[in-house]
Amino acid sequence: MPAVVARLQDLESDVEFVAPCQSEVEAYALNGVPVFAYSFDYVPKGSVIEDDRRFYSMFGNAPVGLKRKDQHLNHTVLRHFTD
């Protein structure tokens, strides 16, 4: 994985998880509530696979799932539902 991607993932993690948690921890501590914070730094080896899906359904039929790798079929699926 290129170093720039790893750095961007670290930044995204800080923005989405660390910063909000830190604000919550500080709010509890200011109100005298005992707080325990943990940090998990394990990063699995290999590529991280994000599974982005879209689901289409009409008239109570079983939804049709569409994974990111199949997004090129998106317009085809929509056309079948709208024709």
Please tell me the predicted confidence (pLDDT) of residue 19: 84
Q: What percent of the chain has pLDDT over 70?
A: 51
Q: Are 69 and 49 in contact (CB under 8 A)?
A: no
Q: What is the pTM of this model?
A: 0.39
Phi and psi at residue 16, to the nearest 5°: -85, -25
pLDDT computed for residue 5 by the predictor: 80
Q: Give 23-66 as a DSSP string.
A: HHHHHHHHTT------------SS------EEEE--TTPPPEEE
Q: Would you state the structure tokens that stand for residue 62, as one six-digit string? A: 């079983």
Backbone torsions φ then ψ of 58, nearest 5 degrees: -140, 145
Share of the chain above pLDDT 90, in %: 13
Residue stretches of the chain with pLDDT short of 50: none
Task: Say what the pLDDT of residue 73 is.
Answer: 67
